[in-house]
Structure 1
């Protein structure tokens, strides 16, 4: 893929992590973010979402039919995006691994590593 200098080629990466905080609220509208996230979902590559990170695939219509964790106040947003909200520390749905927030990182990390190991085979 020929990309302009400075653009990210998602094919050069094995996995994607979308962290939480306020950033997902803003980056979910960026066309480059959409291009990159869409690539990982289209190729069924590992995608991790933490806390508010679920806002990005939700905005892109990528959560429809999936089960995901997210920061608990996002339950309605997740459901409106067509997903099932799970109040758990390590939700695995295919190649996507999600959690509610930073306190879940130990469980989320173990689950994400298992998905990465499967993907590497």
Structure 2
């Protein structure tokens, strides 16, 4: 849903992952076409980074952590939803700052281990970092992304 909300607002959404081509999500309910592999993403070419996920696929992934740091250093959007909400904290971007994540005890512990302050809210905006706790917050998350990018 966030991708559709961004597209409806006029933003071009480019999908990146570790492998090119078409991907299927959990239980094959969600599909996506990968436009570019993560190793080829240049943060200078984009307004922001949005990490989605219901799995820990990109937890502590060095390429994703590097991209988070690059986007953040440039004052660009760094956004994450569901269990991926832990990734900006893993990148060291949320020390002493509030964020949210899917309310999984291991995810909350990981956020806190990395110095972030967990807040049990659907969406948390902390400067240029926006986190959301899961699918139920997808619409609010998408609207927060549009609001940030429209400034």
TM bin (shorter chain): 0.7 to 0.9
More strand by share: 2
Conserved 8 A contact 2:65-2:90: no
In 2: Cα distance, 1:72 partner to 1:30 partner: 21
In 1: Cα distance, 2:118 partner to 2:126 partner: 12
Residue 72 in 1 paired to residue 77 in 2? no
Residue 37 in 1 paired to residue 52 in 2? no
Deviation at residue 30 of structure 1 after TM alignment: 3.3
In 1: Cα distance, 2:110 partner to 2:65 partner: 18
Decide which of 79, 86, 106 is 1:55's aligned counterpart: 86
- Corresponding residue SS for 1:53: helix
More helix by share: 1
Unaligned stretches of 5+ residues in structure 1 = 1-5
Number of equivalences:
111
Aligned to 2:59: 28
Mapping for residues 1-121 of structure 1, pairs under 5 Å: 7-22=40-55, 25-73=56-104, 74-118=107-151
In 1: Cα distance, 2:114 partner to 2:139 partner: 27
Unaligned stretches of 5+ residues in structure 2 = 1-38
Displacement over 6 Å in runs of 4+: none
Deviation at residue 115 of structure 1 after TM alignment: 0.9
